[in-house]
Amino acid sequence: MTRGEWRNLRIGLGFSSLWIVGLGVFTLYPVAASLFYSFCDYSILQRPVWAGMENFSTMLGDDVFWISLKNTLIFAGFSVPMGLAVSLSLALLLNHEVRGRAVYRTIFYLPSIVPIVASSMLWMWIFNGQYGVLNWVIGPLFRLWGDSPPAWLGDPAWSKPALILMSLWGVGNSTIIYLAGLQDVPKEYYESASIDGASSWQRLRYITIPMISPVIYFNLIMGIIGSLQVFTQVFVMTGGTDGAPARSTLFYALYLFSTAFYDLRMGYASAMAWVLFLLIAGLTWIATRAARRRIHYSG
């Protein structure tokens, strides 16, 4: 290397020195250690003991693991597509020339920055089976069928729908992302489509959706990653990691947390974390493949 190259290397490493430490201590070491622990028996109180594939084979026969995986996939399977639909609809509405647009945008966005613990409190109150305002609103619908409205978080059949419903309240973030995407669609496309006699449905289907497909893809991936790791609202609203009632809200991250920090089975928990990683990577890969031909990148 020349003197100049040495100098640049020194400067570059100097500027990056904090990151060299940070990446090593807070990311690379934990990744390596976690991979090692996943093949070990480890309780943090004692040194890890090599156990080979034991953690992974235990997982296969662990009913609670499968329940948590099933619950998580059900939650993600509903909340991600519904969230995409709701946020896209809101963004399409906001993309019109309407009076007070900024006000609507603020109203749709604000819930997504409310601290999750606070919004969990609020929704527990709304879902309350006895005095909850939601049951007052939808109670008449249930009575039409001769039913009483559900106890939501108190009923194993309704606790997941409650959490899915609540997740839709926080879609403001992806609404703003969609809106930014919608505003990048050149107006001329719509104009020429209108001249050719395209209906508003056709404009949506053949111009808007293809033009914002990269944004839809981004929101889909973010949705998958986020919903598979859902933790805080469930922990708060169902009172810990039991997944009450009747394990109906025992999600993957809750089971992982309680395995690691309550049962101190840190090896098993690390193995679970790696399975989660593979699951996220796998689903992302599937989504990417499915999207490849449908995504339209302009410029």
Partner 1 sequence: MRKLSPAGRFAVYTGLGLGTILFAFPLAWMLLTSVKPIEQTMVYPPQWLPVAYTVVWDGEPVEVTRDERIEVPSVLVERTSGNRVGERTLMAVERYDPGDPAYRLICRAEPGSWLVTERTGTLARSKGTRQEVVSDEEIRTRLKFRWDNFPKALETMGGRSLEEVEGSIRPSSAMTRPVTFWTFLGNTTIVCVLGVLGTVLSNALIAYGFARVRWRGRDLFFGLTLATMMIPFPVLMVPLYGVFKSLGWIGTLFPLWVPSFFGSAFNIFLMRQFFRTIPEELSEAARIDGCSEWRIFWRIILPLSRPVLAVAALFHFLYAWNDFLGPLLYLTRKETFTLALALQSYQSQHGGVQWNYLMAASTLTVIPIIILFFFAQKTFIQGIATTGTKG
Interaction with partner 1 in 47-86: which residues (CB under 8 A)? none
Q: Which of residues 258-287 bind partner 1 (CB under 8 A)?
A: 260-261, 266, 269-270, 272-274, 276-277, 280-281
Contact call for residue 13 and partner 1 (CB under 8 A) = yes
- Which DSSP symbol is given to 150? P
Smallest distance, partner 1 to C-beta of residue 50, A: 16
Please select the residue that binds partner 1; options are 104, 198, 207, 213, rule is CB under 8 A: 104
Question: Of 50, 125, 142, 206, which one interacts with partner 1 (CB under 8 A)?
Answer: 125
Q: Which residues pair with 50 in a beta bridge?
A: 40
Residues in the chain: 299
Is residue 151 involved in binding partner 1 (CB under 8 A)? Answer: no
Closest CA relative to residue 79, chosen from 150, 134, 161, 157? 161
Which stretch in 11-19, 58-66, 72-80, 142-150 sits in contact with partner 1 by CB under 8 A?
A: 11-19
Q: List the interface residues with partner 1, window 207-236 (CB under 8 A).
A: 214-215, 218-219, 225, 228-229, 231-232, 235-236
How many residues bind partner 1 (CB under 8 A)? The answer is 103
Instruction: Among 49, 64, 85, 107, indicate the residue that binds partner 1 (CB under 8 A).
Output: 107
Element (H, E) at 152: none
**CA–CA separation, 192 and 190 (whole Å):** 6
Report residue 142 as tokens.
């249930």
DSSP per-residue string spanning 110-135? GGGGS-HHHHHHHHHHHH-TTT-HHH
Contact between 238 and 249 (Cβ < 8 Å): yes
| Span of 16-24, 62-70, 73-81, 242-250 interacting with partner 1 by CB under 8 A | 16-24
Cα 163 to Cα 71: distance, rounded to the nearest angstrom = 11
